[in-house]
Amino acid sequence: MLEIKNLKKSFDGRQILNGVDLTVEDGQILCIVGPSGAGKTTLLRCITGLEAADSGEFLIDGQPFDPKGMEASDAVMGVVFQDFNLFPHLSVLENITLAPQLVLKEAKAAAEQRGLDLLDQLGLEDKGGLYPYQLSGGQKQRVAIARALAMKPKILCYDEPTSALDPQLRDEVATLLLKLKAQGMTQLVVTHDMDFAEKIADKLLKVTALDQKG
Amino acid sequence: MSINYISEILPSLLNGTKLTLSLFFWTLIGSLPLGILVSIGLTSKFKPLQWILNFYVWLMRGTPLLLQLIFVFYGLPIIGVVFQRYEAALFAFILNYAAYFAEIFRGGFQSINYGQYEGARVLRLSYFQTLRKIIIPQVVKIVIPSIGNEVINLVKDSSLVYVIGLGDLLRAGNVATSRDVTLVPLLMVGVIYLILVGICTYLLKKVEQRYAYYK
Ligand SMILES: Nc1ncnc2c1ncn2[C@@H]1O[C@H](COP(=O)(O)OP(=O)(O)OP(=O)(O)O)[C@@H](O)[C@H]1O
Ligand SMILES: [Mg+2]
């Protein structure tokens, strides 16, 4: 279970998040929704340690953790970026197996076996040898998911998983996230697409812009 | 232009070529890694380091290499730093070329999308793993054409070492030309430079092709 209490964040004196609380139960999907500029991405970036929160409490299974200092700890968060940030010079399989080898010190063969299993699971079984530029948007996203899963995270976070894709692919993404949920993955999804959120969410968190006065 | 004469002076020209090539190789081996390090330092958040490195790059690119050679060989001994001729040349060339390479690499680093660093970060790669496995391979692909230009310049710049009395290819040709009062040796020197640059161009193409597997 992930708990965040009283998270605050400001940029250049402008308060973006003022005391956000959230809880995600194991195996559930929390959707973070809200209008553009409300601070959804900022919230996700604070939780995943890409941005330093000004203050707030972070607990995983009741234990405090520091999102910024995750290098030292067990894999906690996996991140699927809005534009995926795949490594263009590495093949799909290398994208997936690089970090498990370098960080988790897995043997190459074991990392590759697991990478192939993940590709299988995500319907990319014949794509391991391709390079990111040879993939469609939806395929890139699934590679990004496989890459995050390979690090065995407790929680998988997505920023706008439907925004870079064709509208028809929206349902496919929903199906995929529900499938991961069925396997027990805890997921945190930022989206401004309410239909999508309602389809997948166990819980919704609405973020509203703070400084739209008047 | 008799074949006899050509074969007579060829050994001395090839001897000069040896020095030209050795200067060329060792300069590259020293200045490419140094250039990468300097470019990383140039983008560091530690301001004093940035100032020092910017000053260094300004100094190296702002004065003629010829002048730098003279200062290293004739000037540094005044403050007690004495180099042999060849080491002096190598020292000046490495420092000079590293500055040019640093600027090229800096441009390369800046063109890498910040998302690549964040992608590596959430996978918990260390800073050095990120540089080595993610960033530098992509930077290399971007900078190859500009580095190639400098590499070809270096083949010809190496002729500047005549000023501190080193016997490189051009000097060997000069010696023969003034001794025998004929332009033939210099013509041969030109041909040898062309061959060297031709080989460099071919090798650079090969390297470029090696990185063409992705876009
Ligand atoms: N690095 C930053 N420096 C300064 N301001 C920032 C920074 N990042 C975000 N902001 C500001 O914080 C606010 C929230 O941005 P954020 O990207 O979190 O919104 P969002 O809810 O994800 O919007 P969208 O739905 O458009 O993606 C915006 O007003 C933005 O200008
Ligand atoms: Mg956003």
Neighbouring C-beta atoms of residue B173, cutoff 10 Å:
25
The CATH number of the structural domain formed by B3-210 is: 1.10.3720.10
Segment holding B40, helix H or strand E: helix B3-42
Out of A85, A86, A148, the one facing B118 most closely (by C-beta) is A85
End-to-end CA distance of chain A: 38
- CA-to-CA separations, A165 to A39, A40, A64, A170, B118, in angstroms, rounded: 22, 19, 36, 7, 21
pLDDT digits (tens, 9 = 90+) for B177-199: 999 999 999 999 999 999 999 99
For the segment A57-65, the average pLDDT, to the nearest whole number, is 88
Is B116 in Cβ contact with A99 (below 8 Å)? Answer: no
pLDDT digits (tens, 9 = 90+) for A153-186: 999 999 999 988 888 888 999 999 999 999 999 9
Is B122 in Cβ contact with A78 (below 8 Å)? Answer: yes
Is B113 in Cβ contact with A79 (below 8 Å)? Answer: no
Residue A198 has pLDDT above 90, yes or no: yes
Quote the minimal CA–CA distance from A167 to chain B in Å.
24
Q: Is A61 left (phi over 0), alpha (psi -120 to 50) or beta?
A: left
The CATH class of A2-76+153-206 is alpha beta
Domain boundaries, chain A: 2-76+153-206
Q: Which of A40, A43, A50, A191 to mutate to test the pocket of ligand 1 (most atoms within 8 A of CB)?
A: A40
Out of B124, B126, B215, the one facing A133 most closely (by C-beta) is B215
pLDDT digits (tens, 9 = 90+) for B145-172: 999 999 999 999 999 999 998 989 999 9
- Percent of chain B scoring above 70 in pLDDT: 100
- CA-to-CA separations, A149 to A183, B97, B103, in angstroms, rounded: 12, 44, 38
Residue A214 has pLDDT above 60, yes or no: no
Quote the minimal CA–CA distance from B133 to chain A in Å.
9
